[in-house]
Amino acid sequence: MDFAPELLELGARAQAAARRLAFAATAEKNRALRELAAALPRAEDEILAANALDLAQAAEKGLPPVLSDRLALTPQGIRAMARAAEEVADLPDPVGGGEFWTRPNGLKIEKTRVPLGVIAIIYEARPNVTTDAAALCLKAGNACVLRGGSEALQSNLVLARLIGAAVESAGLPAGCVQLLPWSERVYAEQLMRLDRYIDVLIPRGGAALIQNVARNATVPVIETGTGVCHAFVDAAADMDKAIRVVVNAKTNKPAVCNALETVLVHRAAAAVFLPRLAAEFQAAGVEMRGCAETRALIPAAAEATEEDWSAEYGGLIISIRVVADLDEALDHIYRYGTKHSETILTEDYSAAQRFLRETDAAAVYVNASTRFTDGGRFGFGAEIGISTQKLHARGPMGLAELTTVKYVVYGDGHIVT
């Protein structure tokens, strides 16, 4: 692949910065983060003016309102971004520490945590990802290359300038955080293949972005954000809890990856549960698509096709299926799930334990909403995304997941015999 010279330069700057940042003191990194937190509200007018340019262009291009919503910044939003940077400064440094042991021959081995190096993040409209991702990468000692959505470019350029100034004021190289200022798609494609400078690529966004990365990246990827999440309402479910959890998991924020897409209902519970659920869903404007048994109990439900069982709707649509028992529910989830988040609603101890044990997913729940799969809600303080792969990181990724290990070995002329 032929790389654009300006991208190669940017990559080399990132690598050089990463080499320095890898052993920056915690205090240096925190100084940059607190400086950024202070600078954001001070630059409110400038940020909002740039954001207004992005919004005006979005309106001109006729982008859908949901996209403009994501793009729009407010004074409160800017304060929240500053608070997030402060919070990352308050978190413990994930670099350093670890375990050590001494071998019988006297070799002392430390297994310690070190930064990954250079992390590239490709994301979409939300400008707050720019500061959030930069803060997390910086705290974990990684240089980052940010590639936001072209529709947010003016906002992101101002934010990146503020981050760069904060980083430099802490005595760290500006190359620690760089935004790709070129919005042409070809730069994103080259970035995905820039193995010589990029250690890890984290895509944050919809299915199309994730698929594009999976197909084209040669840089090692941590995939985030695809979730076909299920709730299984068992025969022994408490109906009030089941209704509350299922409705919450579907309607609280239907666009996110931990939202519910399919409800599986034990045949013995269907006649009681489904009419109540249908009333709640209809009141909330949720479109229902069901199997034949479901439709016999919910006349308003459309017919679910094979595609529905694999669909991540990302909106107010749900698929519903009646199953014979827990086994059939487990088989359905095994076949159609994306191993993100799955929940069982039951008061039956053994059914709960079997579901938790036999369901292969990043997060498995009993009597709780799948919407809890989130770094903040799990108590990690911050998250860079929710990994839907098994290698390296699974589920919500905090600071530790932005590091790798290094063995440091102290000898005294030791040789292998």
Is residue 315 within 8 Å of residue 250, measured between CB atoms? no
Of these, 60, 99, 240, 307, which contacts a second copy (CB under 8 A)?
Answer: 240
Q: Scan residues 367-406 and list those touching a second copy (CB under 8 A).
A: 367-369, 371-373, 377-379, 389-392, 394-395, 404-406
Please state, in angstroms and rounded to a whole number, the distance separating the CA atoms of residues 274 and 278. 6
**Residue list 44-103, contact with a second copy (CB under 8 A):** 101, 103
Which H helix or E strand runs over 318? strand 317-323
Q: Of the candidates 326, 386, 383, 335, which has an alpha carbon nearest to the alpha carbon of residue 356?
A: 326
- In the bound state with a second copy, the residue whose beta carbon lies nearer, of 253 and 267, is 253
| Cα–Cα distance for residue pair 123/145, rounded to 1 Å | 11
Of these, 58, 120, 198, 200, which contacts a second copy (CB under 8 A)? 200
Report the distance separating Cα 224 and Cα 385, nearest Å.
6
Instruction: Give the pair of three-digit tokens for residue 105.
Output: 């021959």
Neighbours of 3 (CB within 10 A): 16
Say which residues have a Cβ less than 8 Å from residue 367's Cβ, sequence separation at least 6: 238, 241, 245, 343, 344, 345, 346, 352
Distance CA 93, CA 24 (A): 11
Are residues 203 and 122 in contact, defined by beta-carbon separation less than 8 angstroms? yes
Closest contact distance (angstroms) between CB of 117 and a second copy is 7
Q: How far is the CB of 252 from a second copy (least distance, A)?
A: 5
Q: Which stretch binds a second copy (CB under 8 A): 83-91, 159-167, 284-292, 358-366?
A: 358-366
Shortest Cβ distance from residue 155 to a second copy (Å)? 28
Closest CB to a second copy among 131 and 341?
341
Does 236 participate in binding a second copy (rule CB under 8 A)? no
Q: Does 196 bind a second copy (CB under 8 A)?
A: no
Please identify which residue in 241, 280, 310, 381 interacts with a second copy, judged by CB under 8 A: 241
Among 143, 248, 325, 336, binds a second copy (CB under 8 A): 248
Which residues in this chain contact a second copy in the complex, by CB under 8 A? Answer: 19, 22-23, 101, 103, 107, 109, 114, 116-117, 199-200, 220, 222, 238, 240-241, 244-245, 248-249, 252-253, 334, 356-358, 360-369, 371-373, 377-379, 389-392, 394-395, 404-417
